[in-house]
Chains A and B, each alone.
Chain A
């Protein structure tokens, strides 16, 4: 496959050759349209007023969702991006508006979510004078963005935005922040049309794949007796779910997922052996230290997945497929690194693979699954206690949604339980805050998810603690009448911390007993229907009512106060030391 070598320095033909004079704000919105953006999550303010004024005329082409807090906007943009594969867009004002985005930016950065944030800024001549609502946004957001830039002249706006979208979406995706001073928003300039960015000379998002390493990796896998595939969000970001399925099916390779990789492979697939990590399944954790070839696809060996690095897969040869060269050899030493976009590397690798089955090895996973079933899973899904368990709620939810719903989780025990027990048939169905573990993520993210996938059922599963962190977004649901289902699993504790205090701090429950308001009454105040249940006999009917209700619905389910999530790999332990109880 030969390509003519061209120097792509000059832009070719602009989209619209008639020169016209427009404002910087209009140029921002024209860029949004050219980049195929249809939804913007934002909150207006003084420094971004010119853009909002221009937005008023774009009502037919751009949908703007008014949130209740800029952090809500950033998480909504994340939820939108996760379920649709498109770029999440956020508008916020200067000063506190911009600083409220930091949590969302940090979350998007560590979880590689494509996002473009436009923040207003004071007039350029006021920069550095401690003006009203002025903050040094660029320097504050430097560590949590892939790229950021401050625009002080409207002429720069089209090219800077083109660059922003290109960077946010290419290679390993990430958040980009563009800070536009008010004078640049107001300034009239000669608009020559929008040209999207396809190349930046100092940025190489995708390498050319070296065929020798593909062959070397294939040879290793073909010779393996106990090969084990672990996969993460890279498969979803690369839109390579089908290629991945072909890959494992050809080699008969058992595959386990990280929580961000969940749903890339259907949970009932024969080769799907379960969840990795601190609260993952027994088999995948223990057998990591028994495999002979470990194949990592689109995952970064996070510490929650590996446990102690010096006791992680030391006996195995490691093959790492990743698009980010800095991730290879960062935590785990690789034998063969296949640097590239997995959508391209996986088919090449599959071709070089021999068709095989590893029945005995796969059965070993099933045996471990059986043991976990007896000691942990059965009791969680079919408890004999009076109190409801989180697992059984998720189990009934699975039956009612048939594995087709998008589930958005917050952070904590409920997140681990949901990721362990939820059933998924299609990709892009699991939205959760993985790397940063942001409490309060779920409610706004569910809003974004529903905008990103309006035809799918969106259920947010939230704990009583996390729900109170971004409870104000109920206002967004009220105003947009969004059909989002909110399932609160209320154990009247900050469960995950309480569990650690029970296991490691001799039950010294330091400030984890959190009191919550009557959530149903609060929802009612926001015009959202709801119900609160505590009895097993009410569960199925209440969940069905929630799912069938035409409009937003909040269901609060009281669960066991001091239930613990098992299995667990305690911090500082090896994955082989996973505890079943």
Chain B
């Protein structure tokens, strides 16, 4: 049964790695719904957040393949309830609609949208939130003449994670300590992290 999975990939900051990871999805005809790259809490370590809609088996297999790549440190995959996530959206509306129709103003306050820029002919709003919220705002605003819309990729933090610092120290050792090995291959994946 397909559902949304967020794949978090910790990597070295090397050029060309984005391509290496992206082709692994296209090879298996998996659509990347969103992809975000960002620095992580550790200098020199990058973090990819990839959103796909697939079955658990497909996600598990592709995560293992991604982890095999030389510049990839670790890969985690989570369903929506295991993460805290946000997406950002920008909406461009005609300014006269905003000034004339009080309803629009109330709507925007309801969604926690804030005005980024106000010009004579257009206003740009920004809204952050879950997919349904930002989507709903589009349908609402298009009634009043939505000129342009764009949504960012998903950024997510895994609820039970402890950051990557300790894991990195482990990887820098030539011989990892005994308890540090987690073998997700065997048994059900009950806990997300075993440090």
Contacts and interface: CB of A to CB of B under 8 A. Distances in A.
Interface of A: 3, 5-9, 138-139, 142-143, 146-147, 167, 198-204, 207-208, 210, 213, 324-326, 328-330, 334, 336-337, 339
Given A7-B173, A143-B23, A201-B172, A208 B178 contact: yes
B175 A3 contact: yes
Residue from the set A198, A204, A207, A326 with the largest chain B CB neighbour count within 10 Å: A326
Q: Please name the 9 residue pairs, one residue from A and one from B, whose CB atoms are nearest each other, closest first.
A: A326-B64, A201-B171, A202-B73, A147-B70, A8-B174, A3-B175, A203-B70, A337-B185, A199-B174
18 contacts: A8-B174, A198-B174, A201-B168, A202-B11, A202-B12, A202-B71, A202-B171, A204-B171, A207-B183, A208-B175, A208-B176, A210-B181, A326-B65, A330-B61, A336-B186, A337-B185, A337-B186, A339-B185
A237 to B, nearest CB: 16
A142 to B, nearest CB: 6
A150 to B, nearest CB: 8
Given A147-B70, A336-B186, A337-B186, A6 B174 contact: yes
A326 B72 CA distance: 14
Contacts of B173: 5-7
Nearest to B62: A326
Contact of B183 (A6, A147, A324, A339): A339
Interface residues of B, number: 30
A147 to B, nearest CB: 5
Contacts of A339: 183, 185
Nearest to A207: B181
Contacts of B185: 325, 328-329, 334, 337, 339
A511 B185 CA distance: 47
Interface string B159-184: 00000000010011111111001010
B67 interface: yes
A5 B177 contact: yes
A334 B42 CA distance: 36
B12 A143 contact: no
Contacts of A8: 172, 174
Nearest to A7: B172
Contact of B172 (A9, A208, A336, A337): A9
Interface string B45-70: 00000000000000011001101101
Nearest to B45: A202
Contacts of B60: 329
Contacts of A7: 172-173
B189 interface: no
Residue from the set B16, B23, B64, B174 with the largest chain A CB neighbour count within 10 Å: B174
Nearest to B57: A329
A106 to B, nearest CB: 13
B99 interface: no
Contacts of B19: 139, 142
Contacts of A9: 172
B20 interface: yes
Nearest to A326: B64
B62 to A, nearest CB: 9
Contacts of B119: none
